[in-house]
Amino acid sequence: MTDVQQHTPSIHLSGEEPRVLPNGEREFFFDVSTSDLEVNMGPQHPATHGVMRVLLRTDGELVTGAQPHLGYLHRCAEKIGENVEWLQYLPYTDRYDYLAAMNNNLGYSLAVESLMPDLEIPRRATLLRTICAELNRIASHLIAYGTYGLDIGAFTPFFYAFREREWIQALFEKICGARLTYSFIRIGGVFNDAPPGWLKEVAAFCDVFEEKWREYYDLLVTNHIFVMRTKDIGVISAEMAYDFGLTGPMLRGSGVDFDLRRDLPYMAYKEIWDAGAFRIPVGRGAQGTLGDCWDRFDVRVQEMMESIKIIRYCLEVIEEGEVIGDVPKVIKVPAGESYVGIENPRGELGHYVHSDGGKVAVRCRVRAPSFVNLAVLEDLMPGTLLADSVAIIGSTDIVVGETDR
Amino acid sequence: MVRVKEYFGNVWKTLATTWGGMRITGKYFLQKPITVQYPDERLPIPDRYRGIHYLEQEKCINCLACARACPIDCIEMEAIRHGKELEWVSFTLDYQKCMFCELCVYPCPKDCIHMGTEFALVTYDRSELNHDLLSFRGMSREARIRMKEAEEKKKAKEAAKAAKEAAEAADSKDEKGEG
Amino acid sequence: MSILAITLSAGSLLSGAAATELQGPVMGTPGAGGNFLTRLLEWLGPPQAVPTWAIALTSVLLGVAILVTMVSLIAMWSVWMERKVSGHMQCRFGPMYAGGWHGWAQTIADGVKLLLKEDLIPKGADRALFWIAPAIVLAGIFGALAALPLSYDWYFARMDLGVFTILALGSTTTIGVVMAGWASNSKWSLYGAMREAAQVIAYEIPLGISLLCPLMTLGTFSLIDASREQATLFGWDCGLGWAVFTNPFNIAAFVIFWIAALAETKRAPFDLPEAESELVAGFMTEYSGIRWSFFFMEEYAAMFLMSVVGAVFFFGGFETPLTALMRASGSDGTLLYSLVCFGTLVLKGFAGVFLMMWLRWTLPRVRIDQVMTMGYKYLTPLALLCVLLTATWEFARHLVMG
């Protein structure tokens, strides 16, 4: 940080001649110049959701420039993927988007499976994967809901969101034994079958969650102060969203109806969509301009409800059976390359895997949605107030572990 | 008129939504908290919980399957083989590295490494995190007995064999002598 | 050293108050009961035997001691209450261990911890300003509390313009906050200080104007007289003649007063000077230990002060049906009656503090431009409208009831 004093206004007489007023007094002109204040938001700042640094250039409360700096959490995840066996990379996928580890497992598994044409995934495994991925989507959006409330200054919604997230984590703990880094969805299926009674507990969770969801809506989403804070702030037009390659709620918040679960369906999503079990919430500009922070936030909150509907459908059609296909202990993937993108809570999570037929990947590349979505900050933040910049960072809902990998 | 409506609309909305929020927080204020007082009461830990490992050493055959499956190579084991019996030197799991992914558990052919429900890994020194999963070093009593028995059997077999050979040799000598 | 500074500044404020009190009889103001410090001294010996300066000095020292205790107690209780209230609103317990019963001693433990913490002054800070800022913040609130009557006959000074004194002294804390923000040599602190200055100036206006409504209803600026005015409801001495009951526009005025009071005390949704998600901790970013706790004490003491002012001018002050009953049974003027009045005031004050906490744990924070909009475009005109309507109502009431 530079010194404050050196940016204080400097006042001195301008070179201009003093003007003589009608009453004989002389009027002097002053040069009053202020320079912009450069301030580091982060790496240790409550609003950056981890260790990201935004270099802000401010004129008073007004932000005139913003430059996100990342890389504080870089852990060489992709390089590790080229050095460990196919299955051994699974725990590392948990760790880039640690709030939606199930979805990361799923994306990686689907990408590897796409190179193994002989492998057949049992139906129960597919449905279990869907249930887990959607539960994790709810958990992730709950965090987005809670932390966005924190960014805006409301504490309590955070605790309510964590209460339900805790329940989801307890469910995951029962099925796979971990609370955050699940490593549950594996190449070929899932590691374990659901313990007895687990599916009933999920159904019970769905029932309770619907009630609580109403409260979330009343407590924060429609609160007038919250609406005033987020509407017309950080407006991303549909075109801008295309240009930046935004995906997920960031894109749908701008009114673009695009969801990989419907448009490039994987697993059982085509069947679920055809059964009419869910719809895709899209920003409507209900509280201001289309594509503002409120729209993005609203899309996330609505998506939680849609996930509940998907889970309900899966619980109806799920039946007994195998949970893992015919996979050897040491997986050898046929030579080839493939890219599979799935709908992560934050957008399109793509895995590009390249195999030469061996036990280890030649290349394992991740298209992280947070990383792509983050790029828009630099364009959105100039011209807003300091408090708005916090709201904008919050509305992109980044996970720094994923941007840096 | 539109502006006036908007003006008083804002006032009304602020007050109404504030009251709506206060009703929710007020409702929970009067309800019982859902948290538990941790050290005094604890939530049940499910069976599949992925905590600190435990090893059924009797079953283990030192096949290194778990060590090979480990993505970060945190499992190391060493045992000296005496025929079928194993004399254990070490079986360490470095919890500084371990990420509790459970990948070591599935490939075990004897189903002898498991993850338990213990999770507290608090130490004063990092080196203490390199846990030794062995419950005994060297050989277990049973293994020793088995090995002794096997050795005795072997000895007996060898003795029998030697006796047989000696007998055979004597026979042939006799035959020669007679011839 | 900070303590000394506080003592001196609060002492000078108090000595002024005490001097007014001492001169009271001379100036012809009937002191009903009189300053309880001077009464205490009278009890020690005949006032004629003690020189006036000794009385003044002793009363000032005693007053400072009482005030320090008061502020500490208010802060301790309020912090504990805040943690419990927020905890229960968020489905958790809050502190549960320290002291045994529901963690009652948590704040005491925290206070001891803060006292023992290293006294840090950042390298580039303006040492003198950094050092004096928390003291100034506390001095302002001490002065304001000195003008507060604790019971109908317990007060440091009987001030005819009590409410103005309180508002004026209460807003001097801003100077300390701006000083702290500037002296810290941290950009976040500077932002916090600027926000505080802008916000407090904006909200002084609606705060003052909205208080005019009950002042018109009650016809006095003195807190004791204001609460006495509210004893009778339409001529019936039932202790329920509260300003909000006798004049409906006072309810609207109270809402405006309350919002402005929240902004004055830097409480959510107007906690912009702190704004922990935006400015890390605002003007307190660089403070730690006991200096930091001074800001905290100021915040809670100011909350209590504003709640009490609200309670006195809108919700009857010392008056409840219980006090009316006591008056009817003739126990007026006894120590018990004083105690009941004191208890009523404290209860009403903490009810207000609870309301502030409830709002804080419900609402998101507003933005700085919205704070200004709300202050200048909404609260100020609406407060003026309230004044107009209250005046009309009072005029009509006087016409009808004579």
Cβ atoms of C300 and C75 closer than 8 Å:
yes
Question: What letter would DSSP give residue A245?
Answer: T
ipTM of this predicted structure: 0.80
Which residues touch C222 (CB under 8 Å, ≥6 apart)?
A: C158, C159, C160, C161, C162, C163
For residue A42, the distance in angstroms to the closest alpha carbon of chain B comes to 28
Tokens of A18: 């003093």
**Helices C335-360/C52-89 angle, 10° precision:** 40
Q: Give mean pLDDT in consecutive 10-residue pieces for chain A, a chain of 405 residues.
A: 46 68 74 76 80 84 84 86 87 87 90 86 88 91 90 88 90 88 87 86 90 87 88 87 88 88 86 86 84 89 90 88 82 87 89 87 88 87 86 87 84
C-alpha distances out from residue C114 to A83, B162, C134, Å: 51, 87, 14
pLDDT of C396 strictly over 50: yes
For residue C294, the distance in angstroms to the closest alpha carbon of chain B comes to 29
Tokens of B115: 């993850």
pLDDT of C30 strictly over 60: no
Mean pLDDT calculated for residue range B89-101:
86
Tokens of B97: 């590295």
> Tell me, what's the pLDDT at C37?
62
> Tell me, what's the pLDDT at C279?
82
Poorest-pLDDT segment among A75-89, B24-38, B124-138: B124-138
Cβ atoms of A277 and A268 closer than 8 Å:
no
pLDDT of C27 strictly over 50: no
A25 and A138 fall within a common domain: no
Boundary residue ending a domain (A45, A67, A89) = A67
SS3 C146: helix
Provide the pLDDT confidence category of residue C145 given band limits of 50, 70 and 90: confident
Could you say which of B10, B18, B33 has the minimum Cβ distance to residue C88? B33
> Tell me, what's the pLDDT at A4?
43
What whole-number distance in Å separates Cα of residue A239 and Cα of residue A111?
29
Beta bridge partners of A296: none
CB contact under 8 A, C88 and B29: yes
- On whether any CB of chain A is under 8 Å from the CB of B48, the answer is yes
Question: What letter would DSSP give residue B135?
Answer: S
Beta bridge partners of A32: A11
Radius of gyration of chain C (CA): 22
A177 and A315 fall within a common domain: yes
Contact pairs from chain A to chain B, CB under 8 Å = 79
pLDDT of C29 strictly over 60: no
A326 and A353 fall within a common domain: yes
Boundary residue ending a domain (A31, A47, A67) = A67
> Tell me, what's the pLDDT at C32?
40
Poorest-pLDDT segment among A207-211, C12-16, C58-62, C118-122: C12-16
Which of chain A's residues have a Cβ under 8 Å away from the Cβ of B103? 87-88, 90-91, 183
What whole-number distance in Å separates Cα of residue C204 and Cα of residue B23?
29
What whole-number distance in Å separates Cα of residue C341 and Cα of residue C230?
13
pLDDT of C35 strictly over 80: no
Average pLDDT, chain C: 81
Third-level CATH fold of B53-139: Alpha-Beta Plaits (3.30.70)
Break chain C down into helix, strand, coil percent, rounded to 5: 70, 0, 25
For residue C90, the distance in angstroms to the closest alpha carbon of chain B comes to 7
> Tell me, what's the pLDDT at C200?
87
> Tell me, what's the pLDDT at A336?
86
Q: Which residue of B has its CA nearest to A177?
A: B49
What whole-number distance in Å separates Cα of residue A13 and Cα of residue C290?
44
CB contact under 8 A, C276 and A219: no
Which of chain B's residues have a Cβ under 8 Å away from the Cβ of A360? none
> Tell me, what's the pLDDT at C47?
57
A218 and A339 fall within a common domain: yes
For residue B8, the distance in angstroms to the closest alpha carbon of chain C comes to 9
Mean pLDDT calculated for residue range C313-340:
81
> Tell me, what's the pLDDT at C33?
44
> Tell me, what's the pLDDT at C257?
92
Q: Which of B53-62, C26-35, C359-368 has the highest mean pLDDT?
A: C359-368
pLDDT of B114 strictly over 60: yes
A31 and A173 fall within a common domain: no
What whole-number distance in Å separates Cα of residue C379 and Cα of residue C206?
6
Which of chain C's residues have a Cβ under 8 Å away from the Cβ of B21? 362-363
Which of chain C's residues have a Cβ under 8 Å away from the Cβ of B9? none
> Tell me, what's the pLDDT at A6?
46
A23 and A130 fall within a common domain: no
Poorest-pLDDT segment among A33-42, A244-253, C176-185, C250-259: A33-42
A183 and A198 fall within a common domain: yes
Question: What letter would DSSP give residue A220?
Answer: I
> Tell me, what's the pLDDT at C25?
38
Contact pairs from chain A to chain C, CB under 8 Å = 90
pTM of the full structure: 0.83
* C44-53 own/partner pairs: CB under 8 Å, 24+ apart: C52/C22
Q: Which of B29, B30, B32, B35 is the mutation pick for testing C, counting most C CBs within 10 A? A: B29
> Tell me, what's the pLDDT at A66?
85
pLDDT of C290 strictly over 70: yes
State the residue range of the domain holding A393.
Answer: 73-404
Segments making up each domain of chain B, as ranges = 1-33, 53-139, 147-179
Beta bridge partners of B91: B77
For residue A174, the distance in angstroms to the closest alpha carbon of chain B comes to 6
For residue B32, the distance in angstroms to the closest alpha carbon of chain A comes to 13
A77 and A60 fall within a common domain: no
Q: Which position has the higher pLDDT, C160 or C90? A: C90
Beta bridge partners of B77: B91
- Chains near B (3 or more Cβ pairs under 8 Å): A, C
Cβ atoms of C218 and C229 closer than 8 Å:
yes
Could you say which of C188, C362, C368 has the minimum Cβ distance to residue A385? C368
Poorest-pLDDT segment among A92-101, B66-75, C41-50: C41-50
Q: Which of B102, B106, B114 is the mutation pick for testing A, counting most A CBs within 10 A? A: B102
Could you say which of B22, B28, B37 has the minimum Cβ distance to residue C91? B28
State the residue range of the domain holding C220.
Answer: 2-401
Boundary residue ending a domain (A50, A67, A84) = A67
Could you say which of B11, B21, B34 has the minimum Cβ distance to residue C363? B21
A229 and A309 fall within a common domain: yes
Q: Residue B132: left (phi > 0), alpha (psi -120 to 50), or beta? A: beta
Poorest-pLDDT segment among A234-238, C232-236, C248-252, C298-302: C232-236
A91 and A44 fall within a common domain: no
Which residues of B make CB contacts under 8 Å with C? 7, 10-11, 15, 18, 21-22, 24-26, 28-29, 31, 33-35, 37
Tally of domains within chain C: 1
